[in-house]
Each structure stands twice: as C-alpha cells, then as structure tokens.
Structure 1
Amino acid sequence: MERHLRSIADREELEQIEDSDMDSLFVLPLSIIPLKTPSLGRARLIKNQRLQGVVEFFSDLHSGSGQVEVTQLPSAMGWDIDHEIPDDLLILRRLAPMPSYDVYSLRILLRESGVSVHDSTVLRLSDAKNRELSGYMKTFTGPLLQQIYGSEGIDIKDFSDIVALFRDPDPKAARQKLKIMAQKLEIDVMEIPAFLEDYGDIFLSLSYYRQCLDRLQPHLDNYLSSMDILRKNWQVKTDYTLMRTCDSIERVLRALSQAIIARFENFDRQTQEMWSSISAQRFRQVKMMIASYHTTIGGILCALTVKMNAWAKHFPKHSVGGPLRRGEFIMSEMKQGIAEMRRLEKATPDHLFQ
C-alpha cells in the first residue's frame, strides 16, 4: 500500500474479481450442504456489497441478482417459525455470518459450527484454479526439490509433477528417490505420500491467498486514487460528513491490507527457515502456523474483495460517474459493512501489523 498511487485516469478498465463458486472468497454453493429444501439446495450463499451473507436464488445479466436475507427466509419460504424452526434455517443462520466462504476457511468454520457437507472432498479448489496457481506453487516446489535432489534437469510445472517423480518405471530408481526424501525429512518411506499431500495442500492455500491479494491490489489502488481525486473536487470537498467517511473507509482498507501483507512476509520468513533445515517436524510447525490464520486472512480478503468489486462494478474507470455520484455511492453503499471490517481489524492479532 506504500507504492505510488497512479491516477485512475491512466488505468485501463478494471473488471470485477470473479471465480467459480468453489474457488470464490464470497460464494458458498448450497448444493454442498445437506439441506432439506430443494430450492435452497439450488441456491448460493453470497456476501453482498454490504458484507451480509444472503441467499441468492438467481443471477444473470438481465434479471440481476435475486437475493433474500436469511432473516427474511421464513416469509419467503412460507415457514411458520412460531410453530417450528426448520433445520435449514438454523444451518443458514450459522453459515451467513462466516467471514469468508473460501474452501480453506470453510474447512475450519464448518467444523467449528457443526455444519456438515455432503462430501468433504468438495472443499477443494477446482482443477482450473490449481492450474492458475501453478506459477505461485513453484515458489514452494522449487526449494523442496533443491533440498531433496538438487534442481538440475527436473521440469516441474505443478505439484502433481513432484508426486510423479516417484512413479519411475524403474522400481529400483523409484525406491531410491523415496529413500532420499525419507532420510532428508527424517520420516519413514511409508509416510511420504501423506507428507506430500499435506505439503501440497498447505502451500496451495498460501498460493491461493497470494493470488487473491495480487488481483485485489490494483482495485485498492484504483479506489484510493479515486478518493485522492474526490478530496480535491470543489463540488464535494466541503461535504465534511463525506470527507470523514472517506477517511474512515480508507484507514480501514489500509490497515487490513497492511495486515495481510505483513502476514505474508512472516510466512515467507518462516518457510525460508523451514527450507534451510527441512524436516517433517519443522514442516508440521509451519503448516499449523499457516492454517491457524486461514480464517483471518480469508475474512479480510473476502471483505476487501467484495467492497472493491462493488466499486469496480459501478465505477470501472475514471470516465464513469462524476464526483457527486461517487460521493452518494460511498455514503449509501461503501460505508455499509464498515463496522464488520473494523471488527476484522480489531480481531486481527497485533503481530500481523509488525
């Protein structure tokens, strides 16, 4: 966030950040939850631009988004909650407030809330997203290979290629590779498959969150540049309520983004230390450390992404929307949910800012 903020007039149009449902920070397909109401099973739980978890029954370019707040579901579904509260409503009441719907946060939050899924294997990124993240994963596959083999002559495109190294047609060669890795990691050969699965999964999560931040950064810069321009505009700069709101939103956005950046820097230090003396035990420590921040990082990235998507949707470039329209949108929509963002900021451990 300390980088120089270029004028949004010099930027190309920014598109909203979108992913398939299982790859998204802010979409939970209810088909993975064992609900009894068929229409709910076909719907999605999404974070709206006010950071509320709402049920979306349909969404398209022509009809828009058909959203119902969880508190309004009894009326919409014809439920008599004075007589009996449906199980589906109880489940949705637990799901709606979750800070993020990304698969890594859901693994933790669903377990903590006692909500089950049809099949735990669905809480994984799609194959397409895995391919997208292959470039990020090289940061983590490279050091592992260097430690075990040295990297000469080894062509790794994604994490599955590491597993394939042990499927050598020559059984003797494959056993030798497994033996080298087992010795290096100080584990039994039979533990290697589980180690590789854990290694790939935890660093895939880190790659996923890094990509989310990288895609978010231009939108944050865009918004902050817009605020800089807005403060200098003669039509709105004397609107002190608007100016205070802009300052409040910017402070929260900066604090949350700085917390995420600081956490990634800490992860980098910890993983570098792990690779300097790799072992299964050291990896487990790093894994627990990264996993313990999944819901914190997911929640912050979800909130920032939803807010920046709302801005990009209405003001994708400098020529769209004048200062008055932008000021109205800030007061009517952007400030909504700021209390939730402040809660995320206060709930973020102090050492994330160090």
Structure 2
Amino acid sequence: MVKDSLHLLGMEILPLRMPALKRARLVKNNQLQTMVELFHDDTAGSGQVLTEELPGFFPQGGDDFKADLILLKKFDDVPSFDVYSTRITLRELNIPIDDHEALRLSEAKREELTERMKTFTHPLIGHVYGAEAQSVDDLQGILGMFKDPDPKTALANLRKMADSLGIELMDIPKFLEDYGDIFLSLAFFRDILDKTVPTIHQYLEWMAELRESFVVKQDRAQDNMLAKIEADLTDITGSITGRFESFDRKTNDFWTDINAERFHEVRELITAHHRTVGGVLCGLTLKMEHWKKKFRNSGAGGPQQRLEFTRSEVLPGLDWIKDLERRGSQINK
C-alpha cells in the first residue's frame, strides 16, 4: 500500500492545481532519485521522468503547471516518502495536514505492528494502572476505560492518569494520540530494519562468492570496488542499528519516570531522526528488494551478472546513503 511505502508518494495529497498531476505519484528509483511516475501498469510498465523534465510533457501547462512544478521540485531532495518524513516536509511548506488519513499508516499495517507496539504501550499502562493493566491491552483500551458506564470510575481513571503524567484532564486524549503515533513510527521503522538486515547479510554472502570468482580475482579494481561496497553496507547497517539501540535506551529511561515533559524530550529525539532513518531505510530496502527480485534466490547469477548488477544497481547512491546515515548519527550528539 502506498501510504506504508518508503519510496512512493501519491500526489493526490498535495495541493496541486492540475488534475493530471494529481493522478501521478512520486517515486524513488534504485539510484535514489525522485521521479514523477506519470503512469504505471503491468503491461506498459512505469513511466517515470525527473521533475525538471515535466515541462516537455505539459507544454501548454500555463500558470497552474508552473505553480505545481515549484511545489514538486521541493520534493526532489526528500530522502524518503514514508508518512512521517512526508508530514515534516509538508509542515515546512506550510501545507495543512491535520487529520489527513493519507499521512497515517494503513489500518492493516497498524494491526501488523500491534505486537511490536506492546513494547511501548504496556509500560505506560502498567505505570498508570498497575494490577488493572492486565485487562488493558493497548492505548485504545485506556480510552475504553475512560468510557466506563460508571462515571465515577471513568473520572477516577482519568484523574489517575493525569496526576501520574502531570498534565490536565483535557490533555489526556492528545497525549495518548501523540504517544501512540511517535512509538508507532519507531515500531514501523524498526520492523523495516529487522526485515532488511537479514537480506543485506544474504547479499553480502552472495557478493563474497563473487569476490572468489576468477573474474574478480584477476581484476584488483573490481575487487576494491566490491570491498568498499561491503564495508559501506556493514558500516551503514551497524550505525543505524546503533541508533535504534539508542532510542531503546532513551525510552527505557523515560519509562522509569513517565511524565509529559520527558515524553516531549523522547518525542523530539525520535522526530529529529525521522527523515534520516527513513531515507537510509528507503535506500537500503530499494536496493535489497531489487536484488531479491532480480535473482530470486541467493545462489542465482553468474560472476559477470553479479558484477554488473552490483556495479550498476547497488553502487549508485550508496555514498549518499552512507552520508545520510553519518549525518543522522550526529543528531543530538
């Protein structure tokens, strides 16, 4: 689904003036360029052009097209089109996004992440309700307790949570919404990382076989290229995994003394990393998914095929991913 994607953005959510552009979408290609996909189907494939090439397809666009082009160019350098990074971009452009369902993960994805979310919801529930927490499974369960048929019980639950968090009664629904959303983003990105890292390891094993081939052993330049790719992927993977471990430490510290101020600090920390984490994961998943699709299994492809794929599909943009991860790892240091 597009709204759960890191590399696709439906342009219907943007305030574009031309209906033809609203039907298109932004796509990150395997070289991590932002492309405008004008059409896509199983028969004709994908019709992608750079933003700067659009005038050739809309020669009579006029003022509406020029205004849309200015807006679209602002997305050229956005590293990922996940909903969290996109929200930040739209806020910076002063485009209203309040309650925009297109900028939330799909219901199916939220359900898929339910188990991961328990890591974040149960500490809050247990902190506020103690033994009662056994009957509450998620943040919606907390809201359900507030709707208790007994007004006194509902009010007591509200006051208990407000006192614990140091906030006003009327602020609890907004706090729960923010709490759920920020940790859902963390669960979403962590899920992608955990699914991508094993594929990277498989790819590196596949590439190690290539380095043992006669084709590479007789060409030091090619071997050096492969060694650099291996080192870069290992460094990037280790660095972004370390960032998630840092998030874990910060959230564990927060749960030892849950209050609104400390949650604000955790939220600001995680939000500050959204775009770099999203961009790095977007780049890694695009390349690894393309590898899996191209070779189907980790034993496929002769040395020349492997070498050409790595040189043309994995290498381009890898320095960009590495630089983005380097910059991301420096946030809040």
Instruction: Say what the alpha-carbon RMSD is for the aligned residues.
Output: 2.3
Moved more, 325-334 or 131-140: 325-334
Are the aligned partners of 1:267 and 1:290 in contact in 2 as well (CA < 8 Å)?
A: yes
Distance apart, 1:158 and its partner CA: 4.1
Do 2:240 and 2:325's aligned partners in 1 also have CA atoms closer than 8 Å?
no
Distance 1:157 1:232, change over 3 A: farther
Deviation per CA, 1:114-156, whole angstroms, max 9, x where unpaired? Answer: 5566974431111111111101110011101110112556344
Equivalent residue in structure 2 for 1:323, among 303, 308, 311:
303
Deviation of 1:315 (Å): 1.5
- Partner-residue secondary structure (3-state), 2:167: coil
Instruction: Indicate the percent of aligned positions where both proteins have the same amino acid.
Output: 43
Are the aligned partners of 1:32 and 1:119 in contact in 2 as well (CA < 8 Å)? no
Structure-to-structure mapping, 1:307-346, within 5 angstroms: 307-346=287-326
SS in 2 for 1:325: helix
Specify the alignment match of 1:240 in structure 2.
Answer: 220
- Tell me how far apart the structure 2 counterparts of residues 141 and 154 of structure 1 sit (CA, whole Å): 12
Counterpart for residue 275 of structure 1: 255
Supply the AA of the counterpart residue of 2:24. Answer: A
Structure 1 contact 25–302 (Cα < 8 Å) conserved: yes
- Match of 2:2? 21
Cα distance, 1:163–1:325 mapped onto 2, change above 3 Å = same
Say yes or no: does 1:168 pair with 2:165: no
Which of residues 46, 59, 71 is equivalent to 2:52? 71
1:31 counterpart letter in structure 2: E
Structure showing greater relative contact order (alpha-carbon pairs closer than 8 Å, 6 or more residues apart): 1
Seen in structure 2, the aligned counterparts of structure 1 residues 320 and 156 have a Cα distance that, compared at 3 Å, is: farther
TM superposition shift of 1:60: 3.1
Q: Deviations over 1:303-324 (max 9, x none)?
A: 1111112211212203432121
2:65, 2:228 → 1: CA distance?
A: 39
1:50 is the counterpart of 2:31? yes
1:191 has 2:171 as partner: yes
> Do the aligned residues in 2 keep the contact of 1:58 with 1:65 (CA within 8 Å)?
yes
What's the TM-score once normalised by structure 2's chain length? 0.92
Which residue of 2 is the match for residue 6 of structure 1? none
**1:85-133 CA distances to partner (integer Å, 9 max, x unpaired)?**
7111111111122001111111112222455669744311111111111
Q: In proportion to residue count, which structure has more helix?
A: 2
Secondary structure of the equivalent of 1:154?
Answer: helix
Classify the secondary structure of the residue corresponding to 1:96. coil
Amino acid at match of 2:10: P
Indicate conservation of the 8 Å contact 2:3/2:106, yes or no.
yes
Partner of 1:15: none
The number of residues matched between the two structures is 333
Partners of 1:182 and 1:199 lie apart in 2 by 14
Equivalent residue for 1:263? 243
Q: Which runs of no fewer than 5 residues in structure 1 stay unpaired? A: 1-19
Q: 1:125-274 maps to which residues of 2 (within 5 A)?
A: 125-151=105-131, 154-274=134-254
Which deviates more, 175-184 or 68-77? 68-77
Does 2:16 correspond to 1:35?
yes
Q: TM-score, normalised by structure 1?
A: 0.87
1:174 shift after superposition: 0.8
Instruction: Give 5+ residue unaligned stretches, structure 2.
Output: none
Question: Per-residue CA shift, 1:241-267, capped at 9, x if unaligned?
Answer: 322222222222222222221111111
What is the DSSP-based 3-state SS (H/G/I as helix, E as strand, rest coil) of the residue aligned with 2:40? strand
Deviations 1:248-302 (A, max 9, x none): 2222222222222111111111111111111111111111111111111111111
**1:108 pairs with 72, 78, 88, which one?**
88
TM-fit CA distance, 1:343: 2.8
Secondary structure in structure 2 of the residue aligned to 1:95: coil
